[in-house]
A and B are shown apart, each in its own frame.
Chain A
Amino acid sequence: MEHTLVMLVEDKPGVLNRIASLFRRRAFNIESLTVGHTEHPGISRMTIVIDGNQTMVDRVTANLYKLVNVIQVADLAGTPSVSRDLALIKVSVTAINRSEVMQLVEVYRSRIVDVANDSLIVEITGDESKINSFVDVLRPFGILEMVRTGVVAMARGVNVALAAANGNGHKPQVEMTVSQERMTTS
C-alpha cells in the first residue's frame, strides 16, 4: 500500500542527501519525493511517497527521526488529505487534430501554456490517477516530452499534520508527534 509521508526538515546543506542516503542504505524504495520551502524561513517541507506495509512505514519513520535535521514526520495514510501532482506535457499536434487535443484539455480542466506550429505544452494539476489517465489519453497524439513534480500533500481541514506548518508563526514543536506516538507495536 502506498503511504504519503509529509515531513518538516531544517533547510541546511546536505539534508536532502541525508534523507536519500537513508533510503538507499536501508533499502527503502521511494515512489516520489518533493521538497520545497514552507512559510517558515529555514524549514523545508518534503512529501515522500513510499510503497510498503505499516511495519515498514514505522521503520522508515523511526529512521527518519534519527536524522538530526528532520523535525517532524507524519503519515497521511488514513487521514483525509489532498494530494496533488503537476505535469507539463509537450504533445505533438497538427492543424487537423489540434482542436481535438484542446477539447481534451478542457475536459481534464488542464490548460495550455505554450502553443507552437506542431506542438502544445499542457499543464495539468491533480492527483496521480487523474494525471496518469490524461497521459494515456494524450499518448496517441505523440508525447514529445513530459515532466512531473511528484506528489505534494496536505491534511484536510484544521487537522494539521505538521505542527510547525500551521501558519500561526509557531516555532517547530519539540513534543512527540502523532506518528511518533504510534511507533509502538501492533
Chain B
Amino acid sequence: MKRSGAQIIWECLVREGVKTVFGYPGGAIMPAYDALLEYPIHHVLVRHEQGAAHAADGYARACGEVGVAIATSGPGATNLVTGISTAMMDSSPIVCITGQVASKFIGYDAFQEVDITGITLPITKHNYLVTDINDLTETLREAFYIARTGRPGPVLVDIAKDVQQASIEWEYDDTPIRLPGYRPDRRPMPKDMQQAAEMIRSAKRPVILAGRGVLLSNAMNELREFAEKTRTPVAMTLLGIGGFPASHPLNLGMMGMHGEAWVNNAIQQSDLLMAFGMRFDDRVTGNLKTYAPGAKKIHVEIDASEINKNVPVDLALIGDLRETLKQLMPHVETCDHNDWIETIDEMKGDSAVLDIQNLPDNGHLYAAHVINDLWRHTNGEALVVSDVGQNQMWAAQYYKHEKPSTYITSGGAGTMGFALPAAIGAKFARPEANVWVICGDGGFQMTQAELSTAAQEGLKINIAVINNGYLGMVRQWQEFFYDKRYSATPMHNPDFVKLADAHGLTGLRVTRRSELEAAVSKAEETEGTVVIDFRVEKEDSVYPMVPSGADLHNMIRRPSPNIIVETNM
C-alpha cells in the first residue's frame, strides 16, 4: 500500500500500542499532524513543549509504557530539552518525535532549523535524524525498542519535513530488530550468585537499598520475598518509593539528604549494603569518604557503567533486577537478624515523623500536616505527583505508599515545573487513579499554563499548592548556610483561586488545619481539576537534613527542647 512518511509515523505508533501522544504543532511537523486525523491516537495539545515531554514522562512512569511527545523543529524541539533530560536522569522510557526542516535545507540555518540531535546527544539514550523515508519504519521501531528495554530512557527521532511528505509503497516490517551494538539483556554469572549468597549469609547488619530499578524491572514481589527470606530491612531512594510497601515491618523508609535519621544511621552502621537498582546518587550517600565505612557492598544493576562509579563495590551483579533476584533466591539461606532489627527499632524512637507532633497546632498551617492529612483522607491510595523542593521532600516523608508507581517525581534532574504536566500524562495512563499534584508556589508557576491543557481535556486532577510565598528549599539553604540572606527567594504570587477560576476550574483556599478536611473532600467530589491554595507557614524547613557533602550520619534536626543535632552513629 502507498503511504506517506507522515502516515508511516502513525502506522508505526499504532503498532507500538500508542493511544495517547502529547505535543504541539508547527511548520516542520505539519504533514504528520495532518495525517494524525486518520489514526486512532488521541493528541493532547500542551501549552509548551516542555509540558509535552513531562507529560510523556509522567505517562511512562504511571503505566510503564513508552510515553510519546511530538514537537516541531527549532524552538519546538529545544523546548523539549528539559523534559528529555528529566526522563534521562530517571530512566524513563519516552520517544520524542520532532519535525526537522526539509533535508535539502539542513545545515543552511533555515527558518526554525536547529541541530536537535546534536543538542540532545548527551541527554538521550539514543537519537536519530531521518532524511530518507526508507529508513523511517526501522528507525521508529528501534526508537521504541531502545527506549523501553535495558535501562530505559528517552529516544529522540528527528524527521525531515520532506520525509514526511514523500510517499512509498509500504508494508510494516516486523522482522526482528538488528542492533549489533545494543545488548540490553545481560545476566549475572552463576559463580557471582554463590558469592553473593555467601556474603549475605555472613552479614550481621544488612540493609537493602531499593531504587527505581525495583519499579522499572517490576521486581516488587521478588524484593519482598527476598527481604522476608533474609529478614533484611529495606531503605528506599526517593525514586524507589512504592517499590516496597510502607507498612511492611521491614520497611525503613527513605534514605539520604532528607531521609529519616534511623534510616541513614542504619546504613552507616551496616555491614552489608545490597543496592538494588539504584546508583548511589550524592543526595543518597552524602560524603563518600565516610559512607557506610564498615559495609561490604553488593550492587545489582542493569547498567554496567553505574558499577564503581560513585561507591566502589565488592560484588556487582549486572543484569535485570527481577531476573537476578529470582536466580539469587534459591542460593540464599533464611536469616533472622533479630538483634539488628531491634537495634534499628530502638533508633526509630528518635524520629522525624514526630516532627509533626512537635509542631504546635496553634492555628498555623504546616506543610507536613497538609500532606499527612492528605495521606489519611485519600486512604494512602492517591497517585501523588510531586514537584521539586520542599514540597517534594515533605511529600516523600509524609505520604506513605503501599504500591508501585503511586509516587512520581523528578529525582535526578530535580526539575521544577515537572509535577503538573507529568500528572496530566499520568492521568491519561491511569484514568481511574486519584491523581494529586503536590507542588510549591514556585514550581507550579513554571508550568501553570498546563492548567489550560487539563481544562481543555476535561481532566480530573487535584492540585495542592504548598504556598509559602518563597522558593522554599532555596530559602531553607539560605537560612542554614547563607546567614538568612534571602536573595531572590520571596515570591509575590497571583491569586491561585482566581487563576483556577479564570480557567473555568475550581479553586479553594486553606489557611488553617481545621479547614483542610473539608477542602480535600470538596476537591475529590468536584468534577474537573481543582486547585487548592494551601497557605502554609512561610519559613518552615524540611528536617532532618544532611547538608550537601556532609557525612550521612550528621543530620540537622528540627530545633526543639529535646533534639537539636543528631551526631551519634
A contacts, CB < 8 Å to B: 9-10, 13-14, 17-18, 21-22, 25, 55, 58-59, 62-63, 65-72, 171-172, 174, 176, 180, 183-185
Contact = CB atoms under 8 A, between A and B. Distances in A.
B74 to A, nearest CB: 20
A23 to B, nearest CB: 11
B179 A185 contact: no
B183 A174 contact: yes
A77 B379 CA distance: 60
B118 interface: yes
A176 B179 CA distance: 14
A180 B186 CA distance: 10
A28 to B, nearest CB: 12
Contact of B181 (A25, A58, A63, A70): A70
Q: Looking at A14, A22, A72, which has the most chain B CB atoms within 10 Å of its CB?
A: A14
A183 to B, nearest CB: 5
Nearest to B126: A68
B318 interface: yes
A51 B129 CA distance: 33
Contacts of A180: 304
Contacts of A72: 181
B182 interface: yes
Interface in B264-310: 303-305, 307-309
A180 B305 CA distance: 11
A183 B122 contact: no
Given A17-B121, A183-B318, A67 B181 contact: yes
A155 B192 CA distance: 29
Given A25-B122, A55-B308, A62-B304, A174 B314 contact: no
21 contacts: A10-B180, A10-B181, A14-B129, A17-B121, A21-B121, A22-B122, A55-B312, A59-B305, A62-B307, A65-B305, A68-B125, A68-B126, A68-B146, A68-B181, A68-B182, A69-B181, A172-B180, A183-B318, A185-B308, A185-B314, A185-B316
Contact of A58 (B118, B129, B308): B308
A72 B180 CA distance: 9
Contacts of A22: 122
A185 B308 CA distance: 8
B510 interface: no
B539 to A, nearest CB: 39
Given A14-B117, A185-B312, A185-B315, A66 B122 contact: no
Interface string B114-147: 0001100110011001000000000000000010
Contacts of B146: 68
B305 A66 contact: yes
Contacts of A70: 181
Give the dominant DSSP class at A's interface.
mixed
Nearest to A181: B189
Given A14-B129, A172-B181, 11 more contacts: A10-B181, A13-B129, A25-B122, A62-B303, A65-B181, A65-B305, A66-B125, A67-B181, A68-B146, A72-B181, A183-B318
Contacts of A66: 125, 303, 305
How many interface residues does chain B have, given as a range? Answer: 20 to 34
Given A14-B117, A185-B314, A68 B304 contact: no
B305 A71 contact: no
Nearest to B153: A66
B241 to A, nearest CB: 26
Contacts of B315: 184-185
B341 interface: no
Contacts of B303: 62, 66
Q: Looking at A9, A172, A176, A183, which has the most chain B CB atoms within 10 Å of its CB?
A: A183
Contacts of B179: 68
Contacts of A171: 180
A17 to B, nearest CB: 7
B313 interface: yes
B313 A174 contact: no
Contact of A185 (B121, B122, B313): B313
Contacts of B183: 65, 174, 176
A27 to B, nearest CB: 12
A163 B299 CA distance: 29
B285 to A, nearest CB: 17
A25 B307 CA distance: 18
A65 B192 CA distance: 22
B126 A183 contact: no
B308 A59 contact: yes
Given A18-B121, A68-B126, A183 B180 contact: no
B318 A71 contact: no
Nearest to A12: B128
Contacts of B307: 58, 62, 183-185
Nearest to B314: A185
A184 B121 contact: no
A184 B146 CA distance: 24
A172 B183 CA distance: 12
B304 A65 contact: yes
Contacts of B314: 185
Contacts of A172: 180-181
Contacts of A69: 181
Q: Looking at A59, A67, A68, A183, which has the most chain B CB atoms within 10 Å of its CB?
A: A68
Interface in B160-191: 179-183, 186
Contacts of B126: 68
A80 B314 CA distance: 30
A66 to B, nearest CB: 6
A50 B164 CA distance: 43
B181 A71 contact: yes
A167 B318 CA distance: 31
Given A25-B122, A68-B126, A176-B186, A184 B192 contact: yes
B65 to A, nearest CB: 21
A183 B304 contact: yes
Contacts of A67: 181
A9 B180 CA distance: 9
A59 to B, nearest CB: 7
A156 to B, nearest CB: 26
A21 B122 contact: yes
